[in-house]
């Protein structure tokens, strides 16, 4: 099949260049790079479109031949044979059309599958900073709705448009060859069709752009409000937010109605133009028959030609809009794919045998340019030791743990682990040796076992049970329906905060991390659960480097070193007793926490 490609390449290139004169050729070229593994299917679709275009005018010609040669001359045997040929041709053409439609849709779905995988991989490897500025609902739209629109570029777009144009050209050529005067008379209303098509295309194109923007707004709004439903109801804001949703939803409806109006006008206009063409055909054809310049078979065949001609013309403007919207969606998808907010530098050092000696040397960090969060932070946590970080909200405590495993990149200074700068480590190897337990625990929909292992099939149930027993949560899990196969709802809504926190501990400890980071890990649980976790911590942090952000006194007292942060700077550091004797900021914080716990 590939060997026949040059025969059709020039024909396709001419038509495609004509079609894309006003379109986003850059996006189209990028889209078609995804068809390279399926070139055979693409070439097959090209060849089929040419064959179908060539076959389309044959049946009307056979009808003309049947009427003028066999019926008018009473040649019944010849009529039987030509009817048999006509019957077989219908089946052949139907079969070819089925394979053509099936293959271009198969190609579209396959390419969309590849693009969606590529986009999702791009999304999950983006820097965390990317999600600070990009709404989740917008990314959802890009990954699902926009990519689905790209499928239309293949199934109803470019290849289908080229096939329709080839069909139109084929029919007009045959009509001109049969009788050029009659053809010109029949096609006299065509300028009206071109004008109507232009206005229809422009109107629908603008409406579709409004629809796409409204869909993105709807997705972002719904995603955000479903996630924050607890807060929404707690502050009785349902009515106000429902009003906002109604406004966005009306914009979506109005955009669709405008497109529907354009369709409602365009298709009757096309029917009227077809009726005018038919009227001209009957008027001129009847006159020519009376003067014996035309035969009845030609008139009948021209009726079929016009119907076959207007069938693709009805949908051509719509397909142009589908192509346009697919390319607009492609632009949005490629904005995600072309984003440079991802890890730009990755080392090749393995972190498999790190001991966990952590050093910060004059580290500066900011989320936004010229708005520093950490200002010249320096400290040393020897391997196997525990350091606690305390400070008021916004002091920069969480920022310190966010840059240790390179969730964010620092602007100045050095972070060393075992005397090696963290950017020299393979980031995935490094992160596998750092266990993190956050205050806000996120659980996925799935079983408890899947949430602890993060669906790592290499980790067996026995290993998970051993970890859970070591921190004392095995019995709690076994009491649940299905024990380790208990189904966790989205975000763990069918578990208590304490239970979710315990599971996050098991998840962090399962990989036997050299460095353990706890970010307010006991702040949202009751005293009994905290005691359970604290007992586990006392055993588990032995021999591990631990960096703890906490306000519970039991955690703070036991740290080998405590640093106090204020406005991004270390103001005090030392042991608990040293800082108490210093009578500084830590002493005030400690007394305040002590009162809370009493």
Separation between Cα atoms, residue 515 and residue 384, nearest integer Å = 8
pLDDT value at 498 more than 80: no
* Average pLDDT over the chain, rounded to an integer: 80
With bands split at pLDDT 50, 70 and 90, how would you rate the model's confidence at 145? Answer: confident
Q: What is the CA radius of gyration of the chain?
A: 35
Separation between Cα atoms, residue 329 and residue 335, nearest integer Å = 10
Separation between Cα atoms, residue 196 and residue 507, nearest integer Å = 63
| Residue 91 confidence (pLDDT) | 92
Determine the length of the chain: 598
E strands, 275-401, are: 358-368, 371-381, 386-391
CB-CB contact of 416 with 359 (8 Å): yes
| Residue 548 confidence (pLDDT) | 86
Residue 142 exposure: Cα atoms within 13 Å on the Cβ side: 20
| Residue 408 confidence (pLDDT) | 84
Measure Cα distances from 497 to 119, 241, 528 in Å.
33, 27, 13
Average pLDDT over residues 447-455: 83
The region of weakest confidence among 95-99, 416-420, 503-507, 551-555 is 551-555
DSSP SS3 for 596 = helix
DSSP SS3 for 496 = coil
With bands split at pLDDT 50, 70 and 90, how would you rate the model's confidence at 552? Answer: low
Picking from 137, 134, 144, 133, the residue whose alpha carbon sits closest to that of residue 220 is: 137
Separation between Cα atoms, residue 506 and residue 487, nearest integer Å = 17
Condensed to tens digits (0 to 9), the pLDDT of residues 53-90 reads: 888 888 898 888 888 888 888 888 888 888 898 899 88
Average pLDDT over residues 123-150: 75
| Residue 1 confidence (pLDDT) | 40
CA 440 to chain CA mean position, Å = 26
| Residue 8 confidence (pLDDT) | 45
DSSP SS3 for 120 = helix
Condensed to tens digits (0 to 9), the pLDDT of residues 341-398 reads: 666 567 788 877 888 899 999 989 888 877 788 888 899 989 888 888 888 777 888 8
Domain ranges of the chain: 8-337, 358-597
Sort 426 into a burial class: Cβ within 10 Å, 0-12 / 13-18 / 19+: middle
Average pLDDT over residues 534-540: 67
Strand partners, 366: 372
DSSP SS3 for 411 = coil
Q: Which CATH code is given to the segment(s) 8-337?
A: 1.20.1560.10
Instruction: Quote the tokens at residue 271.
Output: 């029917």
Instruction: Quote the tokens at residue 16.
Output: 């495609």
DSSP SS3 for 538 = helix
| Residue 505 confidence (pLDDT) | 80
| Residue 344 confidence (pLDDT) | 59
pLDDT value at 411 more than 80: yes
Residue position matching structure tokens 């391997």: 383
Separation between Cα atoms, residue 152 and residue 156, nearest integer Å = 5
Give one DSSP letter per residue of 459-471, joined into a string.
S-HHHHHHHHHHT
Average pLDDT over residues 314-322: 74
Separation between Cα atoms, residue 538 and residue 547, nearest integer Å = 13
DSSP SS3 for 242 = helix
Give one DSSP letter per residue of 61-104, joined into a string.
HHHHHIIIIIITTT-HHHHHHHHHHHHHHHHHHHHHHHHHHHHH
With bands split at pLDDT 50, 70 and 90, how would you rate the model's confidence at 245? Answer: confident
With bands split at pLDDT 50, 70 and 90, how would you rate the model's confidence at 9? Answer: very low
Residue position matching structure tokens 């607890």: 230
Sort 59 into a burial class: Cβ within 10 Å, 0-12 / 13-18 / 19+: middle
pLDDT value at 154 more than 80: no
> What b/e string do you get for 560-591 counting C-beta neighbours within 10 Å, with b at 16 or more?
ebbbbbeebebebbbebeebeeeeebbeebbe
Query: At the top level of CATH, which class does the domain 358-597 belong to?
Result: alpha beta
Residue position matching structure tokens 């993105």: 216
CB-CB contact of 522 with 491 (8 Å): no
Separation between Cα atoms, residue 70 and residue 297, nearest integer Å = 10
In eight-state DSSP terms, residue 292 is T
pLDDT value at 239 more than 60: yes
- Provide the 10 A C-beta neighbour count for residue 188: 13
CB-CB contact of 514 with 429 (8 Å): no
pLDDT value at 246 more than 50: yes
| Residue 525 confidence (pLDDT) | 58
Query: What is the number of H-type helices and E-type strands within the chain?
Result: 24, 12
Quote the pTM value.
0.70
With bands split at pLDDT 50, 70 and 90, how would you rate the model's confidence at 553? Answer: low
For the chain, the straight-line distance linking the first and the last C-alpha, in angstroms and rounded, comes to: 82
- Give the H/E segment covering residue 516: strand 515-519
CB-CB contact of 322 with 156 (8 Å): yes
The region of weakest confidence among 26-40, 174-188, 566-580 is 26-40
Dihedral (Cα; 352, 357, 361, 365), 10-degree rounding: 60
């Amino acid at each position: 099949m590939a060997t026949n490609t040059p025969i059709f390449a020039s024909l396709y290139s001419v038509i495609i260049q004509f079609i894309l004169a006003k379109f986003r050729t850059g996006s189209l070229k990028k889209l078609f790079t995804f068809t390279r593994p399926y070139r055979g299917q693409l070439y097959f679709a090209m060849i089929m479109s040419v064959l179908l275009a060539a076959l389309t005018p044959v049946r009307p010609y056979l009808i003309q031949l049947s009427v003028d040669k066999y019926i008018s001359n009473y040649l019944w045997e010849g009529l039987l044979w030509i009817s048999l040929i006509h019957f077989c041709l219908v089946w052949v053409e139907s079969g070819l059309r089925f394979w053509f439609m099936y293959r271009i849709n198969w190609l579209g779905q396959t390419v969309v599958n590849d693009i969606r995988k590529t986009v999702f991989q791009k999304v999950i490897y983006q820097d965390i900073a990317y999600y600070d500025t990009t709404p989740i609902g917008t990314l959802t739209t890009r990954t699902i709705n926009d990519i689905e629109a790209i499928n239309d570029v293949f199934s109803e777009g470019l290849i289908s448009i080229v096939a329709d144009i080839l069909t139109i050209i084929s029919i007009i050529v045959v009509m001109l060859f049969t009788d050029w005067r009659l053809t010109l008379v029949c096609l006299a209303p065509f300028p009206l069709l071109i004008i109507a098509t232009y206005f229809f295309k422009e109107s629908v194109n603008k409406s579709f752009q409004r629809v796409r923007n409204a869909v993105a707004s709807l997705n972002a709004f719904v995603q955000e409000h479903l996630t924050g439903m607890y807060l929404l109801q707690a502050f009785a804001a349902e009515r106000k937010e429902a009003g906002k949703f109604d406004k966005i939803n009306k914009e979506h409806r109005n955009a669709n109605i405008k497109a529907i109006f354009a369709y409602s006008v365009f298709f009757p206009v096309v029917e009227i133009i077809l009726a005018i063409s038919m009227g001209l055909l009957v008027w001129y054809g009847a006159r020519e028959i009376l003067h014996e310049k035309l035969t009845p078979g030609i008139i009948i065949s021209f009726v079929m030609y016009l119907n076959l001609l207007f069938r693709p013309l009805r949908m051509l403007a719509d397909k142009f809009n589908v192509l346009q919207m697919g390319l607009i969606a492609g632009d949005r998808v490629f904005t995600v794919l072309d984003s440079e907010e991802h890890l730009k530098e990755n080392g090749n050092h393995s972190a498999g045998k790190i001991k966990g000696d952590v050093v910060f040397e004059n580290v500066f960090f900011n989320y936004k340019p010229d708005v520093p969060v950490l200002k010249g932070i320096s400290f040393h946590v020897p391997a196997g030791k525990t350091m606690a970080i305390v400070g008021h909200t916004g002091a920069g405590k969480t920022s310190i743990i966010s840059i240790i495993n390179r969730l964010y990149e620092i602007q100045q200074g050095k972070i060393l682990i075992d005397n090696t700068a963290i950017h020299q480590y393979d980031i995935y190897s490094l992160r596998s040796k750092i266990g993190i337990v956050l205050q806000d625990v996120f659980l996925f929909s799935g079983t408890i076992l899947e949430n602890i292992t993060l669906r790592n099939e290499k980790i067996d149930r026995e290993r998970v049970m051993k970890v859970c027993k070591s921190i004392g949560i095995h019995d709690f899990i076994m009491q649940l329906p299905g024990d380790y196969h208990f189904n966790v709802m989205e975000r763990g809504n069918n578990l208590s905060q304490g239970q979710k926190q315990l599971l996050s501990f098991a998840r962090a400890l399962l990989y036997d991390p050299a460095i353990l980071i706890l970010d307010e890990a006991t702040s949202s649980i009751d005293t009994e659960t905290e005691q359970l976790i604290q007992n586990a911590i006392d055993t588990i942090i032995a021999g591990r480097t631990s960096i703890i952000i906490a306000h519970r006194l039991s955690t703070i007292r036991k740290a080998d070193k405590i640093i106090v942060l204020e406005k991004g700077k270390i103001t005090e550091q030392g042991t608990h007793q040293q800082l108490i004797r210093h009578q500084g900021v830590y002493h005030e914080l400690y007394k305040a926490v002590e009162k809370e716990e009493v």
